Protein backbone atom coordinates (compact mmCIF):
# COMPACT_ATOMS: atom_id res chain seq x y z
CA UNK A 1 0.00 0.00 0.00
CA UNK A 2 2.86 2.36 0.84
CA UNK A 3 4.51 1.65 -2.52
CA UNK A 4 1.25 2.46 -4.34
CA UNK A 5 0.99 5.80 -2.50
CA UNK A 6 4.57 6.61 -3.41
CA UNK A 7 3.87 5.71 -7.04
CA UNK A 8 0.77 7.96 -7.12
CA UNK A 9 2.73 10.75 -5.42
CA UNK A 10 5.46 10.48 -8.07
CA UNK A 11 2.85 10.46 -10.84
CA UNK A 12 1.27 13.60 -9.38
CA UNK A 13 4.64 15.33 -8.98
CA UNK A 14 5.70 14.62 -12.57
CA UNK A 15 2.27 15.57 -13.93
CA UNK A 16 2.58 18.91 -12.11
CA UNK A 17 6.03 19.39 -13.69
CA UNK A 18 4.70 18.65 -17.19
CA UNK A 19 1.72 20.98 -16.74
CA UNK A 20 3.98 23.72 -15.36
CA UNK A 21 6.33 23.48 -18.34
CA UNK A 22 3.39 23.42 -20.73
CA UNK A 23 1.71 26.47 -19.22
CA UNK A 24 4.95 28.40 -18.71
CA UNK A 25 6.67 27.87 -22.03
CA UNK A 26 4.15 26.81 -24.66
CA UNK A 27 1.74 29.18 -26.40
CA UNK A 28 -1.81 29.02 -25.09
CA UNK A 29 -3.17 27.66 -28.38
CA UNK A 30 -1.19 24.41 -27.82
CA UNK A 31 -2.65 23.63 -24.40
CA UNK A 32 -6.03 25.38 -24.27
CA UNK A 33 -7.85 22.12 -25.11
CA UNK A 34 -6.74 20.81 -21.70
CA UNK A 35 -8.96 23.37 -19.98
CA UNK A 36 -11.99 21.30 -20.94
CA UNK A 37 -10.43 17.99 -19.91
CA UNK A 38 -9.61 14.93 -21.93
CA UNK A 39 -12.95 13.14 -21.59
CA UNK A 40 -16.31 14.03 -22.98
CA UNK A 41 -18.66 15.12 -20.23
CA UNK A 42 -21.11 12.52 -19.06
CA UNK A 43 -24.71 13.23 -18.14
CA UNK A 44 -24.95 15.74 -15.35
CA UNK A 45 -27.93 17.62 -13.99
CA UNK A 46 -26.13 20.93 -13.88
CA UNK A 47 -22.80 22.19 -15.13
CA UNK A 48 -22.58 24.71 -12.35
CA UNK A 49 -22.36 23.87 -8.67
CA UNK A 50 -25.22 25.82 -7.18
CA UNK A 51 -26.94 25.12 -3.89
CA UNK A 52 -24.70 23.23 -1.50
CA UNK A 53 -25.08 21.40 1.77
CA UNK A 54 -22.43 19.55 3.77
CA UNK A 55 -21.94 15.97 2.65
CA UNK A 56 -23.38 13.33 4.95
CA UNK A 57 -20.97 11.96 7.51
CA UNK A 58 -19.40 8.73 6.37
CA UNK A 59 -17.09 6.15 7.83
CA UNK A 60 -13.74 7.91 7.80
CA UNK A 61 -11.58 4.81 8.11
CA UNK A 62 -9.54 5.98 5.13
CA UNK A 63 -6.58 7.75 6.71
CA UNK A 64 -5.14 8.96 3.40
CA UNK A 65 -7.78 11.60 2.84
CA UNK A 66 -7.12 15.12 4.00
CA UNK A 67 -8.68 15.93 7.36
CA UNK A 68 -9.15 19.61 6.57
CA UNK A 69 -11.05 19.11 3.31
CA UNK A 70 -14.82 19.14 3.29
CA UNK A 71 -16.92 18.06 0.36
CA UNK A 72 -20.21 19.65 -0.49
CA UNK A 73 -23.03 18.19 -2.50
CA UNK A 74 -25.14 19.89 -5.13
CA UNK A 75 -28.67 19.30 -3.88
CA UNK A 76 -30.05 19.27 -7.42
CA UNK A 77 -28.55 15.83 -8.04
CA UNK A 78 -29.38 12.51 -6.45
CA UNK A 79 -26.21 10.58 -5.84
CA UNK A 80 -25.92 6.86 -5.92
CA UNK A 81 -23.84 5.02 -3.41
CA UNK A 82 -21.52 4.10 -6.30
CA UNK A 83 -20.57 7.73 -7.04
CA UNK A 84 -20.11 8.48 -3.33
CA UNK A 85 -17.97 5.36 -2.97
CA UNK A 86 -15.89 6.43 -5.98
CA UNK A 87 -15.39 9.83 -4.41
CA UNK A 88 -14.30 8.38 -1.07
CA UNK A 89 -12.17 5.53 -2.36
CA UNK A 90 -10.49 6.96 -5.45
CA UNK A 91 -10.87 10.71 -5.83
CA UNK A 92 -10.19 12.10 -2.35
CA UNK A 93 -6.99 10.11 -1.74
CA UNK A 94 -5.67 11.05 -5.20
CA UNK A 95 -6.45 14.75 -4.66
CA UNK A 96 -4.79 14.60 -1.21
CA UNK A 97 -1.64 13.04 -2.72
CA UNK A 98 -1.53 15.61 -5.51
CA UNK A 99 -1.93 18.44 -2.98
CA UNK A 100 0.98 16.94 -1.06
CA UNK A 101 3.04 16.83 -4.27
CA UNK A 102 2.09 20.46 -4.91
CA UNK A 103 3.42 21.53 -1.51
CA UNK A 104 6.67 19.64 -2.14
CA UNK A 105 7.27 20.80 -5.70
CA UNK A 106 10.31 22.78 -6.88
CA UNK A 107 8.07 25.61 -8.11
CA UNK A 108 5.04 27.22 -6.60
CA UNK A 109 1.96 25.86 -8.33
CA UNK A 110 -0.99 28.17 -8.76
CA UNK A 111 -4.59 26.96 -8.83
CA UNK A 112 -4.69 26.62 -12.63
CA UNK A 113 -1.65 24.36 -12.78
CA UNK A 114 -2.94 22.34 -9.83
CA UNK A 115 -6.35 21.86 -11.45
CA UNK A 116 -4.91 20.93 -14.85
CA UNK A 117 -2.64 18.31 -13.26
CA UNK A 118 -5.38 16.91 -11.01
CA UNK A 119 -7.78 16.75 -13.92
CA UNK A 120 -5.21 14.76 -15.92
CA UNK A 121 -4.64 12.38 -13.02
CA UNK A 122 -8.39 11.77 -12.74
CA UNK A 123 -8.87 11.47 -16.51
CA UNK A 124 -6.24 8.71 -16.60
CA UNK A 125 -8.55 6.79 -14.29
CA UNK A 126 -11.66 7.56 -16.41
CA UNK A 127 -13.00 9.99 -13.83
CA UNK A 128 -14.36 13.10 -15.52
CA UNK A 129 -13.80 16.09 -13.25
CA UNK A 130 -15.01 19.47 -14.47
CA UNK A 131 -12.79 22.52 -14.19
CA UNK A 132 -14.36 25.79 -13.11
CA UNK A 133 -12.74 29.19 -13.52
CA UNK A 134 -14.14 32.14 -11.63
CA UNK A 135 -13.38 35.79 -10.97
CA UNK A 136 -13.93 38.11 -8.03
CA UNK A 137 -13.24 41.74 -7.32
CA UNK A 138 -11.12 42.19 -4.20
CA UNK A 139 -9.82 45.58 -3.08
CA UNK A 140 -10.57 47.04 -6.48
CA UNK A 141 -8.60 44.33 -8.30
CA UNK A 142 -9.91 41.47 -10.38
CA UNK A 143 -8.72 38.08 -9.11
CA UNK A 144 -9.22 34.69 -10.73
CA UNK A 145 -9.33 31.19 -9.31
CA UNK A 146 -9.90 27.67 -10.61
CA UNK A 147 -11.24 24.52 -8.94
CA UNK A 148 -12.50 21.06 -9.85
CA UNK A 149 -15.83 19.39 -9.25
CA UNK A 150 -17.08 15.87 -9.75
CA UNK A 151 -20.84 15.53 -10.30
CA UNK A 152 -21.42 18.80 -8.46
CA UNK A 153 -19.05 18.12 -5.56
CA UNK A 154 -16.14 20.51 -5.15
CA UNK A 155 -13.21 18.11 -4.87
CA UNK A 156 -10.04 20.17 -4.53
CA UNK A 157 -11.10 23.34 -2.75
CA UNK A 158 -13.45 24.59 -0.08
CA UNK A 159 -17.09 24.79 -1.03
CA UNK A 160 -17.33 28.52 -0.38
CA UNK A 161 -15.19 29.06 -3.49
CA UNK A 162 -18.47 28.91 -5.42
CA UNK A 163 -19.81 31.80 -3.35
CA UNK A 164 -16.61 33.87 -3.43
CA UNK A 165 -16.05 33.69 -7.21
CA UNK A 166 -18.36 34.25 -10.15
CA UNK A 167 -17.86 31.40 -12.56
CA UNK A 168 -16.93 32.17 -16.14
CA UNK A 169 -18.71 30.06 -18.73
CA UNK A 170 -16.83 29.41 -21.95
CA UNK A 171 -18.54 29.76 -25.28
CA UNK A 172 -17.26 27.64 -28.12
CA UNK A 173 -14.99 29.39 -30.61
CA UNK A 174 -17.41 28.50 -33.43
CA UNK A 175 -20.28 30.19 -31.58
CA UNK A 176 -18.25 33.36 -31.04
CA UNK A 177 -17.19 33.47 -34.68
CA UNK A 178 -20.79 32.92 -35.83
CA UNK A 179 -21.98 35.80 -33.63
CA UNK A 180 -19.32 38.11 -35.09
CA UNK A 181 -20.36 37.44 -38.72
Report the pLDDT averaged over residues 106-134. Answer: 92
Looking at the domain assignment, is residue 146 inside a domain?
A: yes
Is residue 162 a contact partner of residue 154, using CB atoms and an 8 Å limit?
yes
Asked, for residue 14, whether it belongs to a domain, the answer is yes
Helix axes 92-103, 111-123, angle to 10 degrees: 140
Q: Considering the domain boundaries, does residue 26 fall inside one?
A: yes
Residue 62 has pLDDT above 50, yes or no: no
Residue 63, in any domain of the structure: no
The answer to whether residue 133 scores a pLDDT higher than 50 is: yes
Positions of E strands within the chain: 52-54, 72-74, 130-138, 141-150, 153-154, 166-168
- pTM, to two decimals: 0.69
Tell me which residue range forms the domain holding 44: 2-58+68-180
Residue 116 lies in a domain: yes
Number of domains comprising the chain: 1
Domain assignment present for 91: yes
Contact 146, 113 (CB under 8 A): no
Amino acid sequence: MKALKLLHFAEAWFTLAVVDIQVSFMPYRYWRHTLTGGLKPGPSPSDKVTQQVPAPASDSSNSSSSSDSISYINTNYSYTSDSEALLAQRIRPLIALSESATRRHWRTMNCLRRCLAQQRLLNRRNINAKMHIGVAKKSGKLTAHSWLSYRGIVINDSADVVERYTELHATADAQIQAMLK
